[in-house]
């Protein structure tokens, strides 16, 4: 909820029109204030405080409501995205699709709804099998969105992480290296997860495209991130791909065995859908 929307709620609850609420235009003009409520104009701190005092609205109460609504909105977005990603890793397309009407019915702003639905549709697009027709327009829209965000901030890193497969492998290497080099020393767990997910996807790409000799930087970077309980899944995938790459490069059978053991671990702890998907890599004849 914006400041303008919250001011309007208080005004209506006090059964005042705009003219009464702004002390007959002595605080701000009515034409200006009407645009504040519509989120067209912003209001200065001084004028906001005058409005609150004039209408006997405690400052702490106003801002607590403002922050509370922001927190609720943030939590609602996080819940949608958490459910989407859980369904994504479980390869559950129907679960992801079922979220679409819930997002539309939510109390999120129209802009937030559009962004969440775009991410939902992009996740479904990324789950398509090779024989399914790609939605080029959607993929380009996601790529444009990622690069319309200035710098590699957390939002941009997360978007790239989720939709890395929309780019060609060479582009993944270039962008991935820039992001990893920028955040390799971060202590932020959420960012560490994103970095490891990017590394995991690039190493999987190296195996799929037989580019094992191009990813040494990412292997070294993945080793630098200390394993914590929150990172166990991502480090497991990292060591699976690392061992498979080393197996292909050296033909060391111990590396192959370690990769198989990691798949068994993922399956045994309940991540059988993802664990089984890695078996396709394990089963590739490296001598073909």
Query: How many Å is the Cα radius of gyration of the chain?
Result: 25
- Model confidence pLDDT, tens digit, residues 197-231: 999 999 999 999 999 999 999 999 999 999 999 99
Percent of the chain at pLDDT above 90?
44
pTM: 0.61
Q: What is the pLDDT of residue 80?
A: 82
**What is the architecture of the domain spanning 167-288?**
Alpha Horseshoe (1.25)
- Model confidence pLDDT, tens digit, residues 92-147: 899 999 989 988 887 778 888 888 898 889 889 888 887 899 899 998 888 887 76
Q: What is the pLDDT of residue 72?
A: 62
- Model confidence pLDDT, tens digit, residues 223-277: 999 999 999 999 999 999 999 999 999 999 999 999 999 999 998 988 888 888 8
**Could you write out the DSSP letters of every residue in 238-260?**
HHHHHHHHHHHHH--HHHHHHHH
User: CA dist 133 to 66, 114, 121, 137, 208, Å?
Assistant: 45, 23, 14, 12, 20
Backbone angles phi, psi at 239, to 5 degrees: -70, -30
List the one residue out of 181, 146, 183 whose CA is nearest residue 163: 146
**Residue scoring higher pLDDT (148 or 56):** 56
Every domain of the chain and the residues it spans: 3-57, 167-288
pLDDT average, residue stretch 183-209: 92
List the one residue out of 156, 212, 213 whose CA is nearest residue 183: 156
Which CATH number is 3-57's, of 1.10.10, 2.30.29, 3.30.70, 1.10.260?
A: 1.10.260
Helix ranges (H only) for 90-135 are 93-105, 110-126
CA separation for the pair 220, 232 (Å, rounded): 18
For residue 288, what pLDDT band results from cuts at 50, 70 and 90?
Answer: very low
Rounded to the nearest integer, the mean pLDDT of the chain is: 86
CA separation for the pair 201, 146 (Å, rounded): 17
- Model confidence pLDDT, tens digit, residues 143-167: 887 766 666 777 678 778 878 888 8
List the one residue out of 193, 160, 190 whose CA is nearest residue 178: 160
């Amino acid at each position: 909820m914006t400041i303008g929307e919250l001011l309007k709620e208080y005004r209506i609850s006090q059964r005042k029109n705009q003219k009464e609420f702004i002390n007959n235009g002595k605080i701000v003009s009515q034409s200006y204030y009407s645009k504040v409520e519509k989120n067209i104009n912003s209001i200065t701190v001084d004028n906001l405080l005058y409005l609150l005092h004039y209408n006997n609205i405690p400052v702490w109460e106003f801002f607590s409501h403002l922050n509370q609504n922001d927190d609720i909105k943030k939590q609602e977005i996080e819940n949608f995205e958490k459910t989407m990603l859980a369904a994504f890793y479980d390869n559950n397309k129907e679960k992801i699709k079922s979220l679409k009407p819930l997002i539309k019915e939510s109390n999120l702003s129209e802009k937030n709804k559009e962004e969440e639905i775009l991410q939902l549709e992009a996740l479904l697009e990324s789950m398509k099998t090779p024989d399914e027709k790609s939605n080029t327009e959607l993929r380009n829209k996601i790529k444009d969105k990622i690069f319309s965000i200035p710098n590699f901030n957390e939002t941009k890193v997360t978007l790239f992480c989720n939709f890395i497969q929309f780019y060609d492998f060479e582009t993944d290497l270039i962008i991935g290296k820039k992001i990893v080099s920028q955040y390799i020393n971060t202590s932020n767990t959420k960012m560490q997860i994103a970095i490891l997910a990017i590394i995991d996807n690039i190493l999987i790409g190296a195996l799929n495209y037989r580019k094992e000799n191009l990813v040494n930087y990412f292997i070294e970077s993945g080793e630098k991130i200390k394993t914590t309980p929150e990172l166990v899944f991502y480090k497991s995938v990292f060591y699976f791909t690392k061992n498979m790459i080393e197996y292909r490069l050296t033909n060391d059978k111990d590396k192959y065995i370690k990769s198989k053991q990691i798949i068994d671990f993922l399956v045994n702890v309940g991540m059988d859908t993802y664990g089984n998907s890695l078996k396709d890599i394990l089963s590739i004849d490296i001598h073909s």
